[in-house]
Structure 1
Amino acid sequence: MSESSIIEKDIGQHGTHDAMESKPQMPSKDIMVLSKLSRCLTKITAGAGALVLFINVVVVFTSVIWRYALHSPLHWAEEVARALMIALVFFGVATSTGRGGHIGVDLFLRFLPDYARPYVVHASRWILVLVSVGLVVSSFSLVEASLLQTTETGLPQVIYVAPVFIGSAVMLIAALEHAFRERARVVLISALVIAGLAVAGYIKLSLMNDPSSAAAILMLFCFVVGILAGVPIAFTLGMSAMVFFICDPSLPFVFFSQQVAAGVDHFVLLAIPFFLLAGAAMEVNGMSTRLVELIVRGMGKFRGGLNMTTVLAMAFFSGISGSKLADVAAVGGVLMPAVRRAKQDGEEAAGVFAASAVMAETIPPCVNLIVLGFVANISIGALFIAGLVPAACLLVLLLIAANIFGHRIDISAAYPILRPRKQLLLGAAVGLIMILMIGRGVVAGIATSTEISAFAVVYALVVGRLAFGELTLKATVKLFVDIAAMSGVLLFIVACATSLSYVLTIQMIPQMIAELLVSIGFSYGAWLFLILTIVILIIFGAVLEGAPALIIFAPILVPIAIQLGFDPLHFGIVMILAMGFGLFSPPIGLGLYTTCAICGVEMKNVIKPMAKYLAVVLVGIIVVALLPIITVWLPRIMGY
């Protein structure tokens, strides 16, 4: 199973709470028709998303070849790539909605009485319907406004906005199908509760002389309730922004879909699906299994060999996939069977996975490094380099901890059938060359991170196919379909976070926070500001995941940090590590839920064995925060 399909399965459990459903009612004829329609449209958007992703790789790869080999840049390539990017996101999120694959926090639901939980869970499905309706209505107006407009190169403007409407419409049908997939009583009562809240909000606004004055309060209310109710993160963010646009009559509602689309209308963000695709290709073609087996056979003779293998494998794959959830899926899916065969503690192994994922947050080409560079106007190449030494420090600390707390294993039990060593070395060499290609390309300025990621995709598909012969045509097609859907999930979070960030800017909230933090920094010292930043980002990193937290906080915090004398590279790396710590920490870290699902363990049993590894990581983060030289030394040598 590919890493993308593993993640799709896992986040579906946390996002739509299928595991917590009551027994569904037998569907009526109308519901069956809706289900068939949803499945059909989901298949269409899945295929369209895969095709769009493939064409985008070809466009970006070809544009680089044309520029360097033929000295004739394709001026239209970036505009086409950006339009395809928007199509990829909305076709992908429509596919994921049909599959039930969205990320949410369901921890708080466990505190509800058993009789109330199904109603709250199901109410979150109606939120998906409402946000989808808002996007359909808003994007329809956006399509109408763009029909007679053209881009800078003369392309019709509608190519940017039509996918928003199409994807949102398919997403609405899929969300409705999921909303009706339950007992009639639960469907009806949850719908009435949502409708009642909407009517109460409308009456409240209609009685006010200035409805816009309540917009910020209602937005905050929707955000908090959405998080507590387990609404998928993207739709919590989208609902909060949508409510603001509805409440403020001075803002046309078309701004809602416009800002959501604008959130992913950036060439640099293409690096995210491209790196995900390259990493998944390397996993599907068998490189991950060869690499992990090679490390186990090399480290297995040491005390804590399997735990040390986990740490090293996570570091290695972080330089390929770009996504920490993909890293956990790729390495966990391969290594956990060996852990069980060797009769090692699965809960401790899951804890090591989570701690190693935090360590690997700053190893390029991390998705969050790309997002941070984009939103805070920091060189992505410089961030890639700046993250290496801090990651190496955390890597050494975790290896020491794994050696101290781990146990010896019997390699023959972990791997009863051993591959020839030449095969294992070949797998490691292919992956290492890819990492060196990425690093050299970005550092030397040969191409942008997006262009390098396109080369990485071509390398992973072509060289991986030639080296191992395991990447069949059918597996390649499935790979593109799965990565298109996963990219839609991740980037739709970015899109909705951008929309909410726009709303916060209108309300001058970033400026107010900035003034408060600047006063704290100058009154009590810059280091108190840094400590507060770490605490804030650990908390929000746990509930928001990395990208939306970065989009909201980085534009606020980075300028303040510079004003207080911090180097932006140092401060940015500390931000990434703090959010990673929150993402994989109990009790609400989304990444930890994913890790436990992949490892087949319960989170309550993981907390105790993983505490020592998280403590080691936290100490490492504090050291990196207190010693800026660890972060800025290498970039300065490289000329940044």
Structure 2
Amino acid sequence: MEIALPPRREYGDTALTERVLARFVTTIEYLGAAILALDMVIVAASVVARYYFHAPFDWAEEIASGLMSTMIFLGAASGLGRTQHVGIDVVVNLLPPRWRPFVASVAAWATALVAGMLLYSTYDLMLDTHGQTTPIGLPQWWFHLPVLLGVAAMTVFAVNNCFKAEPAARWSALAVCLTVAAAILGWNVLLPDDTVSPILLLCIAAVGGLALGVPVAFALGLGSMSYFLMDPSLSMLIWAQQVSSGAHHFVLLAIPFFVLAGLTMEVNGMSSRLIELLLRMIGRFRGGLNLIVIFATMLFSGVSGSKLADIAAVGGVIMPAIRKTGQNENETAGLLACTAVMAETIPPCVNLIIFAFVSNISIGGLFMAGVIPAVLMALCLAGVAIYAGTRVDLDRVFVEVPRRPLLPLIGGAAVTLAMILMIGRGVTTGIATSTEISAFAVIYAFLVGGLMFRELTLKMTVALFVRAAAMTGSILFIVAVASSLSYALTIERIPDQISTTMIALGQQFGPLSFVLVSIVIMFGFGMILEGAPALILFGPLLTPIAGALGINPLQFGVIMVIAMGLGFFAPPIGVGLFVTNALTGTQMKNVVRPMMKYLAVLVAALLVLVLVPDFSLWLPRHLGMIR
């Protein structure tokens, strides 16, 4: 959920500053879009050179990773400039209204502190690496300079956000922050035998930051920063190094590419043609419109990689049809949220990529392990949709929007299906990496929209790159910051301690008990943290334990991603459900009741996947990905 700052009050002449910063945000977003486009060209050209000319670009992966790091930090900066970073406001909303401006100001100062310290540490890191070279012979500091510029922009926007509150709240919040910091420092200096341990301070800072509404990435950064500051044996440049390296992974480039492909489908005519064909094929059957929601989400999730992109693509087309035919829009909104849970395990879902990356398991193997579970959940949802559904008059749908000619419509839908098959074929055969496949998916979507359908203009193309770069930059910044938190936890041997406890639980009560406890953990944290942070924190901790207890990591990964998705869309505080309500124009209080029957069958399907591993493992085993 986006964190909203207090309403802006004008104190003095701030109009010029706001205009300058607005243009600065726009410039950053266009720069991030240009970097994303350049990355796509490099990856695609590298694949062509390798397969057709047998002359691979040895520099492509390193350059593409460096450009992606730049895009991530620029995207995080633009997110601050537009106050669009994901955060948790559940606790803040429980406070009396008169306290909320003060708490929001505390969160803004904490964010500015993290950004400022990261700026200082990154500059120190750049100086420290001066004279070092990368594997392809480039100066190492070249790769830190763009990160430094992105963090500098981040700091500017973070400080500006601190001044968006009224002076009383602004300065009292700053005074409280400084007092707390001075108290901790004074305690450790005056009572050296009873100092606040770095790991305790990490937990207090991270959890307290989340509770106060600090954006998730900066709350995690506040925790890891506090740890490095309080441990005299650790240099702050190591903190910056961990954050920077967390963003420098070629495999993560698949995320912005797949998101870009999904966004392109929304505007280039591919999604509307496919849904119209589905409407005309099965719309008149009992529960036909709800069946279309299920099938369309399955198809689009095989391209977009983003569950929220799926909701936007399907909901934007199907909800008007629901209202025109007099169907229950709350029922459809609840089903749409549940289909997004189902789509969590359909490749190339972003969360599958993240889980595989942080848990060090095969992305292709996890993709294939998620296919049959997704089909199982889709069948369960379809059964309920047919049972609870009614027949509709489709002629009312096409009153304002004329039907397309049937043969061109089938051709257009076939083009979309061909893209989905191309991605699936690439993943299963291993002819290219997920990143390379995602780059060609983008090119394919642009060619179809621009040349075949002629519905994609240059202006729309630029806007798509801007939107994709900004959206994925904020998401991947969480991945980058979480790597520094993971490093701190590793130093404290927290993973080893959790491993020992959970293995003991599994040995005493059986592996099933471990899986069930893990599901509860992922469900709870999925509610409040969203997908990426929850998976990043617990994926590398729990997956090795699952392996030690004899649970296949691919099955465990599928279960964890589904459990997280259930939490993300579950009422009453699932952030994904709030987003679904916003996209469909519905209210949670009206959606919850019709949604519960769909959630119930998803929970039942998840338990079946726990008890019957072959649902997850048959396909990767059949394809030779596991023994």
The answer to whether the superposition gives a TM-score over 0.5 is yes
C-alpha displacement of 1:277: 1.0
Q: Deviations over 1:55-90 (max 9, x none)?
A: 100111111111111111111111101110101101
Q: Within 2, Cα distance between the matches of 1:340 and 1:107?
A: 31
SS of 2:303's partner is coil
> Which structure 2 residues correspond to residues 392-471 of structure 1 after superposition, within 5 A?
392-416=375-399, 417=401, 418-471=403-456
Q: Within 2, Cα distance between the matches of 1:606 and 1:232?
A: 27
Q: Say if 1:27 and 1:181, in contact at 8 Å, map to a contact too.
A: no
Change (3 A) 1:202 1:346: farther
Of 115, 123, 130, 1:132 maps to 115
Q: Say if 1:94 and 1:174, in contact at 8 Å, map to a contact too.
A: yes
Structure 1 equivalent of residue 615 of structure 2: 630
Structure 2 equivalent of residue 510 of structure 1: 495
SS of 2:87's partner is coil
Matched, 1:35 2:18: yes
SS of 1:320's partner is helix
Structure 2 equivalent of residue 144 of structure 1: 127
Q: Say if 1:15 and 1:102, in contact at 8 Å, map to a contact too.
A: yes
Q: Deviations over 1:215-273 (max 9, x none)?
A: 11121112222222222211111111111111112110112221111112111111101
SS of 2:213's partner is coil
Change (3 A) 1:481 1:407: same
Q: Within 2, Cα distance between the matches of 1:276 and 1:524?
A: 41
C-alpha displacement of 1:211: 8.3
Q: Say if 1:25 and 1:184, in contact at 8 Å, map to a contact too.
A: no
Give, as a single letter, the amino acid of the residue that structure 1 aligns with 2:361.
I
C-alpha displacement of 1:322: 0.5
Matched, 1:542 2:505: no
Structure 2 equivalent of residue 283 of structure 1: 266
Structure 1 equivalent of residue 369 of structure 2: 386
Give, as a single letter, the amino acid of the residue that structure 2 aligns with 1:555.
P
C-alpha displacement of 1:122: 3.2
Q: Say if 2:101 and 2:165, in contact at 8 Å, map to a contact too.
A: no
Structure 2 equivalent of residue 7 of structure 1: none
Q: Within 1, Cα distance between the matches of 2:190 and 2:318?
A: 60
Give, as a single letter, the amino acid of the residue that structure 2 aligns with 1:477.
V
> Which structure 2 residues correspond to residues 54-73 of structure 1 after superposition, within 5 A?
54-73=37-56
Q: Which moved more, 1:169-178 or 1:526-535?
A: 169-178
Change (3 A) 1:623 1:252: same
Q: Say if 1:15 and 1:231, in contact at 8 Å, map to a contact too.
A: no
Structure 2 equivalent of residue 274 of structure 1: 257
Matched, 1:591 2:576: yes
Q: Within 1, Cα distance between the matches of 2:389 and 2:435?
A: 40
Q: Within 2, Cα distance between the matches of 1:599 and 1:194?
A: 40
Change (3 A) 1:442 1:539: same
Q: Within 2, Cα distance between the matches of 1:126 and 1:406?
A: 51
Q: Within 2, Cα distance between the matches of 1:227 and 1:528?
A: 29
Structure 2 equivalent of residue 478 of structure 1: 463
Structure 1 equivalent of residue 290 of structure 2: 307
> Which structure 2 residues correspond to residues 11-160 of structure 1 after superposition, within 5 A?
14-18=1-5, 21-22=6-7, 24-29=8-13, 31-160=14-143
Change (3 A) 1:82 1:334: same
Q: Deviations over 1:326-355 (max 9, x none)?
A: 211222222222222223323222211111
Q: Which moved more, 1:529-538 or 1:420-429?
A: 420-429
Of 339, 343, 346, 2:329 maps to 346
Q: Say if 2:188 and 2:196, in contact at 8 Å, map to a contact too.
A: no
Q: Deviations over 1:175-196 (max 9, x none)?
A: 2222212322232333333333
Change (3 A) 1:300 1:221: same
> Which structure 2 residues correspond to residues 297-336 of structure 1 after superposition, within 5 A?
297-336=280-319
Of 213, 220, 235, 2:218 maps to 235
Q: Say if 1:121 and 1:230, in contact at 8 Å, map to a contact too.
A: yes
C-alpha displacement of 1:306: 2.0
SS of 2:576's partner is helix
C-alpha displacement of 1:212: 7.3
C-alpha displacement of 1:314: 1.1
C-alpha displacement of 1:400: 0.9
C-alpha displacement of 1:421: 2.5
Of 132, 138, 146, 1:163 maps to 146
Give, as a single letter, the amino acid of the residue that structure 1 aligns with 2:524.
I
Q: Within 1, Cα distance between the matches of 2:264 and 2:496?
A: 43
Q: Say if 1:212 and 1:249, in contact at 8 Å, map to a contact too.
A: no
Q: Within 2, Cα distance between the matches of 1:587 and 1:189?
A: 33
Q: Say if 2:187 and 2:195, in contact at 8 Å, map to a contact too.
A: no
Q: Within 2, Cα distance between the matches of 1:124 and 1:412?
A: 52
Q: Within 1, Cα distance between the matches of 2:420 and 2:94?
A: 45
TM norm structure 1: 0.94
Q: Say if 1:109 and 1:228, in contact at 8 Å, map to a contact too.
A: yes
Of 561, 582, 585, 1:576 maps to 561
Q: Within 2, Cα distance between the matches of 1:391 and 1:114?
A: 43
Q: Which moved more, 1:293-302 or 1:591-600?
A: 293-302
Q: Which moved more, 1:613-622 or 1:199-208?
A: 199-208
Q: Deviations over 1:412-467 (max 9, x none)?
A: 22332222223432332122111111111121111111111111111111133222
Q: Deviations over 1:498-535 (max 9, x none)?
A: 11111111111111000000011111111111111111
Give, as a single letter, the amino acid of the residue that structure 1 aligns with 2:550.
G
Structure 2 equivalent of residue 337 of structure 1: 320
Q: Say if 2:354 and 2:532, in contact at 8 Å, map to a contact too.
A: yes
SS of 2:98's partner is coil
Q: Within 2, Cα distance between the matches of 1:493 and 1:426?
A: 40
Change (3 A) 1:301 1:64: same
Q: Within 2, Cα distance between the matches of 1:542 and 1:224?
A: 15
Give, as a single letter, the amino acid of the residue that structure 1 aligns with 2:216.
I
Q: Which moved more, 1:376-385 or 1:358-367?
A: 376-385
Change (3 A) 1:628 1:287: same
Matched, 1:294 2:274: no
C-alpha displacement of 1:28: 2.1
Structure 1 equivalent of residue 536 of structure 2: 551
Structure 2 equivalent of residue 527 of structure 1: 512
What is the aligned-residue RMSD (CA, Å)? 1.7
SS of 2:56's partner is coil
Q: Say if 2:124 and 2:237, in contact at 8 Å, map to a contact too.
A: yes
Change (3 A) 1:199 1:292: farther
Number of corresponding residues: 623
Q: Which moved more, 1:264-273 or 1:277-286?
A: 277-286
Q: Which moved more, 1:602-611 or 1:575-584?
A: 602-611
Q: Within 1, Cα distance between the matches of 2:415 and 2:193?
A: 63
Q: Within 2, Cα distance between the matches of 1:303 and 1:326?
A: 27
SS of 1:639's partner is coil
Structure 2 equivalent of residue 3 of structure 1: none
Q: Within 2, Cα distance between the matches of 1:376 and 1:303?
A: 43
Structure 2 equivalent of residue 617 of structure 1: 602
SS of 1:216's partner is helix
C-alpha displacement of 1:33: 4.3
